[in-house]
Amino acid sequence: MSTQNPIMREFSFMVRDRAVMIWIVVVLCLSVVTVWSGLGEVQYQRDTINRLLEDDESNRAAEFSKQTDWGSAAYYSFHLTYDSPSDFAFAAMGQRDSAPWKHRVRMLALEGQIYEHDTGNPVLALVGRFDFAFFSAFVLPLVLIFLLHDLQASERVAGRYNLLVATTGSPKSSWLTRAFLRSSGILIATIVPLLIAGALSGTSFLIILSAVLMVFAYIVFWTLLCVWFASWNHSASVILSALIGVWIVLSTIVPAGGRMVIDGMVPVPSGADILMTQREAVNDAWDLPKEDTMRPFLERHPEWANYTPTEISFAWEWYFAFQQVGDQKTEQLSEAYVAGRVERDRLASLLSIVSPPALLERSLQRLANTDMQAALAYEGRVRAFHAELRAFYYPGLFGGDPFDKSALKELPSFSAN
């Protein structure tokens, strides 16, 4: 036995330590639960999108079959836009529980539609899903704390401390070996389910590798922190309390304070102002001379300058022009709303450097493309698609191209990425 190398010796200690093995099994089970339900949720979202695409297609075809001019074709047809979950979304659902990932729009003023919200049950978003990101960022450190806080105190209590120090020569490296062996057990229990789920869902090697490295670095960070605290000459309960205190500060107090400060520092326009401005602009247009609508519209679209407004009381061209002018009048507020969210997210990502749990969760969400950036990018794609719709219909409406049902097949289709 004495010739055995110290790592092997510590390893055989650990395998016989029931408490350590139980924690490793618990972590393994929890990790399996997170990725398993994550995979299920991703599948559910994919199925939903596929079903919606079918319904959307047939619904639009049915509408088109009834229409005989560009205006009503544009007015009555809705278009599904969506944000498919990435192949790593199973690990971090992120904003997908509170921000929309599907949206049906038509060629009316976009500002009146884009904030519509088809998301799930708010209580689920509030309590929060048990996904891999939450598990590894918030639960895992606590498990490490429970496993490592009494490395030395327990030996002191058992009266073996001095004996151990005397026999192993370098006590520091012995604690470190023991701590890192335990952490390695936890690391393996955490990432094996992730690797299997990644293989099942076809996640790219690079993304899985980055995720594993992040979790690895995170576990090293908490292990070192625990080892340092554990070396204090205090009772195990004092060390445990102190470590849990650190966990609370890093995972809750810093993020909560940060959110409050950032939201206070970077104001965003109130939603009410955006909606009211848009509604007033669109509704006032009915009573304004057509001139007043066409002027700002043509400023934006000089290519239709030759268009002459008709005298009749209602014309689709004018109707869609004032829908667009409604968007134009809201533009400033709407851009400020986007810019405010971008800025808040940027500051949050800066601040997360001092909150490792927030940093890990955000980083995993970035890898999974489920963070605020992804939600904003999706909103941007909806805007771009809406602009394409306008570009498609305007030649018919303002250029006088004759209505041609077969041309509707050339309609821009929303591209998921």
Partner 1 sequence: MNAVLIIAKEEWRYWLRSKLAISVIALFVATLVAVTLLTAVRMGAESHERAHHQGEAEETFLSQPDRHPHRMVHYGHYVFREPAPLSLFDPGIDPVTGQSIFLEGHRQNSATFSNSAASADLGGLSWLTPAIIYQVFAPLLIILLGHGAIIREREAKALAPLLAQGVDGRVIIAGKALALTSFVLLLLIPLGFSALLAVSNGESFLASASLVGVYFLYMLVWSALTLFVSSSLPKRSAVIATLAALWLAFTLVIPAIAVNVASRGVPLAGKIETDFAMLNEANKLGDGHNSKDAAFDQLRASLLKQYNVERVEDLEVNIRGIVAQKAEKDLTDVLNTFAYKRMDGELRQVAMIADHGWFTPMLAVASASRAISGTDLVHYHLFLRQAESLRFEFVQGLNKVHAEQLSYTDDINRNRDEESWQKVLMDSSNWQVLNEFHFETASTSARLSSAGMSILMLIIWMGVLSGILLGIGGRLKP
41-100: contacts with partner 1 (CB under 8 A): 41, 44, 48, 51-52, 55, 59, 80, 95, 98-99
Confirm or reject binding of residue 33 to partner 1 (CB under 8 A).
yes
Smallest gap from Cβ 322 to partner 1, in A, equals 13
Question: How far apart, in whole angstroms, are the C-alpha atoms of residue 332 and residue 250?
Answer: 37
DSSP-derived 3-state class of residue 27: helix
Kindly identify the residues of this chain, within the stretch 106-135, that bind partner 1 according to CB under 8 A: 112, 115-130, 134
Residue 9 near partner 1 by CB under 8 A: no
Tell which residue, 41, 25, 63, has the closest CA to residue 411: 63
Q: Which of these, 409, 9, 27, lies nearest to 215 by C-alpha position?
A: 27
Q: Which of 15, 21, 199, 253 binds partner 1 (CB under 8 A)?
A: 253
Residues 398-417 that bind partner 1 (CB under 8 A): none
Closest to partner 1 by CB, 118 or 303: 118
The CA-atom distances, in angstroms, between 284 and each of 105, 324, 384 are: 22, 13, 26
- Separation CA 317–CA 321 (nearest Å): 6
**Stretch of 40-48, 172-180, 291-299, 408-416 contacting partner 1, by CB under 8 A:** 40-48
The beta strands (E) that lie in 22-139 are given as 79-82, 102-105
**What's the closest the beta carbon of residue 259 comes to partner 1, in angstroms?**
5
Looking at residue 180, what DSSP letter applies? H
Q: Name 339's Cβ contacts closer than 8 Å, sequence gap at least 6.
A: none
Is 233 one of the binding residues for partner 1 (CB under 8 A)?
Answer: no
Least CB distance to partner 1 at residue 156 (A) = 11
- Give burial (CB, 10 Å; 0-12/13-18/19+) of 131: buried
Beta bridge partners of residue 81, listed in sequence order: 103
Residues from 259 through 298 that contact partner 1 (CB under 8 A): 259-260, 262-263, 266, 268, 270-272, 275-276, 279-280, 283, 286-287
**Contact characters 166-205, partner 1, x per CB under 8 A:** ----------------------------------------
Residue 209 C-alpha from the chain's centroid: 19
Task: State which of residues 13, 40, 61, 172 lies at the interface with partner 1 (CB under 8 A).
Answer: 40
- Is 307 an interacting residue with respect to partner 1 (CB under 8 A)? no
